[in-house]
Amino acid sequence: MRPVRVLVAKPGLDGHDRGAKVVAAALRDAGMEVIYTGLHQTPEMIATAAVQEDVDVIGLSILSGAHMTLIPRVQDLLREQGRDDVLITGGGIIPKEDMEALTARGIGRLFGPGTPTSELVGYIKGWFAEREKQEA
C-alpha cells in the first residue's frame, strides 16, 4: 500500500507553529509523506497546494479562533476543484460545539491540545485504510 500523503497547514494569522511541526514529524515517523506549508497560509493557498500535491489528507492547525471561517473555506475550495475526497482534519483551540458543527459539515475528527500524536496517526491510518478498501 502506498504511503498516505498529508498536507499540514497553519491557516490565518497564527504565529505559533510548534504543534504543527510536532504533528508533521509524528506523521512522517509513522511512514506518511508530509508536506508542511508553514505559517500564515490562506485557505486558497492551502487548497491549491493540496490539489497540486495530490494529498489524501489536510491537517489544519488553528489556534486563532477563526476555525469556523477557515476550515469551511478550505473545504469549499477543495469541492470547487473536484477534490471532496480529501480528509480535512486538524486541531487547536476549538470548542466542543464548534467541533460538532464542523463534523456535521463533513469535516473529519478535530483534536484538542494535549492529544497524543499516536491518536491522530491511528485516526488517519484507519480512515485511509477504509478509503482504499472502498476504492478496491
Structural domains of the chain in order of their starting residue, each with its CATH number? 5-135 (3.40.50.280)
Count other C-beta atoms under 10 Å from residue 99's C-beta: 17
Distance separating alpha carbons of residues 28 and 22, to the nearest angstrom: 10
Give the DSSP letter string of 39-83. SSB-HHHHHHHHHHTT-SEEEEEE-SS-HHHHHHHHHHHHHHTT-
Number of helices (H), then strands (E), in the chain: 5, 5
How does pLDDT run along the chain (136 residues), one tens digit per residue?
A: 799 999 999 998 888 888 899 999 999 999 999 999 999 999 999 999 999 999 999 999 998 899 999 999 999 999 999 999 999 999 999 999 999 999 999 999 999 999 999 999 999 999 999 999 998 8
Q: Decide: pTM greater than 0.85.
A: yes
